[in-house]
Structure 1
Amino acid sequence: MIYKLYQSVCKEFLLLKRDLGGVVILFLMPLVLIVMVTLIQDSTLKKFSNTKIPILLVDNDKGNVSHTVFENLQKSDVFTVVTQIDSKPLTEAVAKEAVFKGDYQLAIIIPSRLSLDLQAKIDQNVENIVSSLGFADSTAVAKPKAIVNEKEVKLYFDPATQLSFKNAVMSSIDKMISQIETHSIYTAFQEQLGEGSASFEQKSFITFKEIVPRVNDKEIVPNSVQHNVPAWTLFAIFFIVIPLSINIVKEKTQGTFIRLRTNPVSNAIVLAGKTITYLIICMIQFYMMLAVAVFLFPHIGLPSLNIEGNLFMMTIVALFSGFAAIGFGILLGTVAKTQEQSAPFGATATIILAAIGGVWVPVFAMPKVMQIVAKSSPMNWGLNAFYDVLLRNADFIDILPEISLLFLFFIITITIALLYDKKKRSV
């Protein structure tokens, strides 16, 4: 049996040897893909982290509120405030047109009398509270209260702007206005109660601190490499579905499979030979991509992938991911009747599994329905296992659920392929 399995593996390598161009593409394609995608994503992240976004500010208030908003925006690491275009002061119409053309991502329109009306409204509220507590001057003549209408700060966004950016900007501006309003309330109370000059600290009493995991006294800071290497390694591993399924279809159409069946060799031995052969290819792909991430990336301006202490666990994840991909490829090749069926379907299925598995878009950013669907993708299981190893310092027990699902997927697809082939031959 071992000899038959050995000969089956040798047969698969001979077939691959006859198509050296395809084998080279099989190895080079993932390497080019991982380098290009990581370079693009890393440069995008650096651009957003190092480059300030110019935004338009139209100040119709000319008061304390607008001045504070302007100063806070200028001090931020995200925005550069623009108040003139072509050396002319901005108006709402000009700012609106510039944003809707796509020249700027955001315009903030501060209404007139915002500072004065805000202070008037706060004074009215404070006077009511002080009066209700019995601290008001009983000899003072009550003044008629002016009606203060609500104010509206207008935000014009470029139609192509992402919703997350809009929410972040609105939250930031709302926080600025809240700080100004709180300051004014403190001041108004102290003036009403006769406590002298107001002293208000704008620094938040409650702050936030991110605690990141540490390994060997070093912080584990996620970067583009830690996402792209596992993601596109999985994509490359599952891409072998195409040549594997085509190989099986060729054997059926050329009569090779029939000649193999005339020999005293079971179909299980033939499929085991294919599994071992393509598993070796998967692992070569995996180690080549790791080598690129560790040794090449630092020379082209990318962070190096830190695999210290994680290589063995990553190898296990890649091994079981390879099993899942091979099982899917064998099933597809067994069911497909022609190469025209297997190749397009294999490519499309791989892309769909990658899309719903979180290779392109993080699963948490998907709609709720797609988040549930993503749990059915083998690529999602493999990607989560890689993340557990690289970012969460997981051990074998922690990744056991994911690799069990991957191996179960392999067992199910191989079983279906064997049963389908047996039924087809018995008809």
Structure 2
Amino acid sequence: MLKWVATIHKEWLLLIRDRTGLLLLFLMPAALVVVITLVQDNVLRQTGGLRIRGALVDADGGAAAQVLVHALEANETVTFRRVWDGRAVDTQKAADMVAQGELQFYAAIPAGLTAAVAERVRARMERLVAGESEAAAPGSDLPEVAVHFDPTVQSIYRTAVNGVLHQALAVMQAEYSMKYLGDSLERHLRERVAALAGGFAPQITEQLVPTLGGDIMQAPVVCISVQSTGSAKFERLPTAVQQNVPAWALFGMFFIVVPLSGSLIRERREGILARLLVMPVSRTALILGKLTAYAGVCMIQFLCIVLVGKWLLPLLGTDAFVIGGHAWEMLVVALCSALAATGYGILLGVVARTNEQAAVLGPVSIVIAAALGGIMVPVFAMPHAMQVISQASPLAWAHDAFMTLLVRDGGLSAVWGQLTLLLLFFGAALGVSLLVLSKRRW
């Protein structure tokens, strides 16, 4: 026991004297959490809460244009503004604002839209009432609502704007279709009744055809309910903070392999390990002492990142990191992750022959494991082959466990599979390390 404690004390003294290594272990993940969260926070808000801003130029001003404008301005996802600084926006003003970066796009309703829509819808309804089942060819002279995007706007935002426009156009077309369908039906029935009833036709046709249209035709008959799977009481949306704090904390914890493997290689190269083994202390005690010391560093590192998410990020304008009722479960996942990280660091320090090998293999392998594990890109957005490969990443196991606790409101019973994989990885790495050490001559 005393030998184990002495080994831990030795490792802590070496770590405290390595100021550069401490900066790498603590400032690097903290900086990553702050920078990446701030960058991603506004993106997530725009796709889930903030509005995409654009101008709306109405060169028509007719009834159809008014219906279209009303539908666009009522949308909560994309903001369409017709008035700027107290004046209606014209095409030149809108183009200048997009070019200067004040807006992401502008939409222009052409002059003559109302007349063109009325003519086309009336002709279509006349053909329908007359019993013609085939629609006329649309032709090439359809009125066109032009949307002009800033070249930097990505496709996801363009798709959102186009979807809103298509929805508004569908509302306008439906309203006009109902209006002219009613007119065509009434006229057609009057003609038929007049042919059959003669002089009594005016009194009969007054009550035959109800007026179609109005607000009653726009009232929804089906609604949409958006819910999360899992616990019904847990409806917290996954923010950039909830995603990035545990993700980049894991990334920083696994970077413990750099100083840990370097320490092992340095002790082996300078003969320190050989001299320690001459003393009445086993290889297992030395390795376990080193492992305990660095696992403790990982836990302190994790707690520091959680504090950054809890207290610093809200001061910079983001949401606070919410632990909920899963503090102890998070510590268990963090401990298993720390053991997996230190186990890999010891394995790398034992297998690598030089500091150069460990300095290249360690960071590169951690970056690859992080990329595969969903730290940088969500796993579901990867190709199928990469999704299969990602299941072998320890960072994927740990990250999925954290997401189950923080976003899906799971407990330890829901993450026991990931914890088992992390502990098996740790056991395998430690076992291989002790086996190599036992067979190597010092």
Into which bin does the TM-score normalised by the smaller protein fall? 0.7 to 0.9
Is the Cα contact below 8 Å between 1:327 and 1:411 reproduced in 2? yes
Aligned to 1:280: 296
SS state at 1:132 partner: coil
1:27 equivalent to 2:41? Answer no
Matched, 1:73 2:72: yes
Q: How does 1:390-401 map to 2 (within 5 A)?
A: 390-401=406-417
For 2:229 and 2:236, how far apart are their aligned partners in 1?
6
2:199 aligned residue: none
- Partners of 1:248 and 1:333 within 8 A in 2: yes
Any residues of structure 2 matched to 1:185-334 within 5 Å, and which?
185-194=177-186, 195-201=209-215, 202-212=218-228, 219-263=235-279, 265-298=281-314, 301-334=317-350
Note closer, same or farther for the CA distance 1:375–1:154 as it changes in structure 2 (3 Å cut): farther
Partner Cα distance (1:146, 1:361) in 2: 43
1:386 matched residue in structure 2: 402
Deviation at 1:301, TM superposition (A): 4.7
2:156 partner amino acid: S
2:397–2:422 CA contact under 8 A, matched in 1: yes
- Contact 2:56–2:80 (Cα < 8 Å) also in 1: no
State the Cα RMSD in Å.
3.7
2:260 partner SS: helix
State the one-letter code of the partner of 2:257: V
* Per-residue CA distance 1:340-393 (angstroms, 9 max, x = gap): 332243233323332332223333334444433433322221111111111212
What displacement does 1:152 show? Answer: 4.2
Give, in angstroms, the shift of residue 273 of structure 1. 1.9
Deviations 1:151-178 (A, max 9, x none): 5443333332222111111111111111
Q: How far apart in 1 are the matches of 2:132 and 2:148?
A: 43
Q: What's the counterpart of residue 9 of structure 2? A: 10
8 Å contact kept, 2:68–2:172 = no
| TM superposition shift of 1:400 | 1.1
Distance in structure 2 (CA, Å) of the matches to 1:133 and 1:13 = 87
- Using the TM superposition, name which of 412-421 and 240-249 deviates more: 412-421
Letter matched to residue 224 of structure 2: F
Deviates more, 1:253-262 or 1:17-26: 17-26
Aligned to 1:64: 63
Deviation digits for residues 303-360 of structure 1 (CA, Å, limit 9, x no counterpart): 3333242011101110111122112212222232222332243233323332332223
Q: Distance in 2 between matches of 1:282 and 1:190?
A: 73
Q: Distance in 1 between matches of 2:146 and 2:119?
A: 21
Letter in 2 for 1:81: R
The percentage of counterpart residues that share the same residue type is 33
**How do 1:24-173 and structure 2 match up within 5 A?**
26-42=25-41, 52-59=51-58, 61-77=60-76, 78-81=78-81, 90-91=90-91, 104-111=103-110, 113-132=112-131, 149-173=141-165
d(CA) in 2 for partners of 1:182, 1:284: 62
Residues 69-108 of structure 1, C-alpha deviation per residue, up to 9 Å, x if partnerless?
33333344432436899x89745x9967875786642233
Deviation per CA, 1:200-246, whole angstroms, max 9, x where unpaired? 33343322232357989675343332122211211221121111111
Mapped partners of 1:65, 1:376: distance in 2: 57
**Equivalent AA in structure 1 for residue 81 of structure 2:** V
| Alpha-carbon shift at residue 61 of structure 1 (Å) | 4.7
* Distance of aligned partners of 1:213 and 1:310 in 2 relative to their CA distance in 1, 3 Å threshold: farther
Q: Does 1:182 align with 2:168?
A: no
TM norm structure 2: 0.79
The separation in 1 between residues aligned to 2:89 and 2:80, in whole angstroms, is 16
Comparing 156-165 with 110-119, which one deviates more in the overlay?
A: 110-119
Contact 1:100 1:157 in 2 (8 A): no
1:361 corresponding residue in structure 2: 377
The answer to whether the Cα contact below 8 Å between 1:73 and 1:81 also exists between their aligned partners in 2 is no
The amino acid of 1:174's aligned partner reads: H
Indicate if the aligned counterparts of 1:124 and 1:145 stay in contact, CA closer than 8 A: no
AA at the equivalent of 1:332: L
Q: Deviations over 1:391-415 (max 9, x none)?
A: 2121222101111222222233334
Would the aligned equivalents of 2:56 and 2:81 in 1 still touch at CA under 8 Å? yes
1:359 & 1:175 partners in 2: Cα distance?
36
Cα 1:175–1:406 change in 2 (3 A) is same
Q: Do 2:3 and 2:285's aligned partners in 1 also have CA atoms closer than 8 Å?
A: yes
Distance of 1:293 and 1:145 partners within structure 2: 59
- CA deviations 1:94-132 (Å, max 9, x no partner) are 967875786642233445544333333333333333222
